[in-house]
Amino acid sequence: MHELSVCQGLIRQVERIAAENAATSVDRIVLKVGPLSGIEPELLRHAFTIAREGTVAALAELELSQGSIKVRCRLCGGAGEAAVNRLLCPDCGEWQVDVTEGEELLLLSLDLETSL
């Protein structure tokens, strides 16, 4: 359950960005949590309800997208989707592939409210 540590780091980043923008509250936090990131979205959601307490993001909505896993083959150039524990080329079936999508653990954007 390392999702709570990750979430606490997230909240510190959000608080810093909110302060930089003189925001009074954070409405929405948008993340990308790839299937190979090692983070379980449901556990992150639970951790978020704990970590946001008493912060500028106390009422923020958490929006998570997972995306898919994509690989590109170094041998034949084939590209496509792969399963989490079978990162194989969709064309030739070999394992010498680069993962081009699926490992992201990113804070994409924040919706902020500021007093004019």
Contacts to another protein by CB under 8 A: 1-2, 5-6, 9-10, 12-13, 17, 21, 24-25, 27, 31, 34, 36-39, 58-59, 71, 84-88, 95-99, 103-116
From residue 109, alpha-carbon distances to 21, 26, 116 in Å are 13, 11, 21
We find the least distance from the C-beta atom of residue 112 to another protein, in angstroms, to be 6
C-beta of residue 110 within 8 angstroms of C-beta of residue 17: yes
Minimum CB distance to another protein, residue 95 (Å): 4
Instruction: Report the nearest approach of another protein to the CB of residue 106 (Å).
Output: 5
All residues at 6 or more sequence positions from 44 whose CB lies less than 8 Å from its CB, including other chains: 3, 6, 7, 31, 33, 62, 64
